[in-house]
Structure 1
Amino acid sequence: MKISIGADHGGYRLKEILVPFIESLGHEVTDVGCSCDQSVDYPDYALPVCEAVANGQADRGILICGTGIGMSIAANKVRGIRCALVHDMFSAQATRDHNDTNVLAMGERVVGPGVAQEIIRIWLETPFSNGERHVGRISKVKEIEAKYAAQV
């Protein structure tokens, strides 16, 4: 898979650990930054990751900031993105299985590197269940997205 990854200063150190880990799983990684722990704005890194996923340049995206909250908020403003903020393995599996998420957000100040690696492994390996009830629910989310995109 092609994975786009981005972090702000609060997630920089964790991103630097995760990129080689994701590559070791056999995935191609595009790192959009940031490249230091100096203060930057999380939307500047969430947007290129989400645009890459939304336009098909990446299969999935991973976003990291201090808590993951800011990144997930910014990500879910991009049409076609279903981003989940995840801090545990069960949620990583469930959000793929039930919600077909295409972007994962995490917080460096919330999860350690080992847990983050396991979350990513599970999230990348779990397929969407494609069950009728889950497809129907995602369709309803897409309808909400389309309704409010049309009002802009």
Structure 2
Amino acid sequence: MKIAIGADHAGYMLKEELKRWLEEWNISYHDFGTYSPERVDYPDYGIIVARAVAKGGFEKGILICGTGIGMSIVANKVKGIRAALCRDPYEAKLSREHNDANILTLGGRILGFDLAKEIVRVWLNTEFTGGRHKVRIDKISMIEEDEL
């Protein structure tokens, strides 16, 4: 599995901590920035990660800003992306099982590292269940094609 990861200044510290954890677990990733805690605009990084996942170069993505809300909004503008803002492991589990979320967004000013790590662990290890949920995902794809 190869992960695309990115953050704005408010998510920078959490991103750096999560990168260390991904390395410990031998999970391949590419860091799309930002590379310092200096102020930047979250859309600049959210769109790069979302497009990289949508094009198929990465199986999943992780985006971090202050609350996770802005990154979620940006990522969900990209066709084929299903970004989910998760604040606990249960939401992470359901975002994968029911929504086949391919990008996880987190709030760097909201979550501590231990909780964020557990959310990421659950999210990366949960599979999409398909079935009745696939029908719903297909409807989302139809909306993207303006066919629903």
Render the CA deviation track for 1:117-148: whole Å, top value 9, x for unaligned: 000000000000112x1000001111111118
1:134 maps to 2:127: no
Letter in 1 for 2:123: W
CA distance in 1, matches of 2:58, 2:32: 12
Please state whether the residue corresponding to 2:63 is helix, strand or coil.
strand
Letter in 1 for 2:71: M
Please state whether the residue corresponding to 1:3 is helix, strand or coil.
strand
Render the CA deviation track for 1:46-89: whole Å, top value 9, x for unaligned: 11111111111111000000000000000000000000000101
Query: Partner residue of 1:123?
Result: 123
Query: Partner residue of 1:11?
Result: 11
Query: Partner residue of 2:98?
Result: 98
CA distance in 1, matches of 2:46, 2:37: 16
Query: Partner residue of 2:54?
Result: 54
Runs of 4+ in 1 over 3 A off after TM superposition: none
CA distance in 2, matches of 1:25, 1:104: 18
CA distance in 1, matches of 2:78, 2:22: 24
Normalised TM-score (structure 2)? 0.97
Query: Partner residue of 2:142?
Result: 143
Q: How many residues align?
A: 147
Please state whether the residue corresponding to 2:30 is helix, strand or coil.
strand
Instruction: Give structure 2 stretches of 5+ with no counterpart.
Output: none
Normalised TM-score (structure 1)? 0.94
CA distance in 2, matches of 1:102, 1:8: 19
CA distance in 2, matches of 1:99, 1:107: 20
CA distance in 2, matches of 1:23, 1:94: 25
CA distance in 2, matches of 1:68, 1:54: 19
- % identity of equivalent residues: 52
- How far 1:26 sits from its partner (Å)? 2.1
- Tell me the C-alpha RMSD between the 2 structures: 1.0
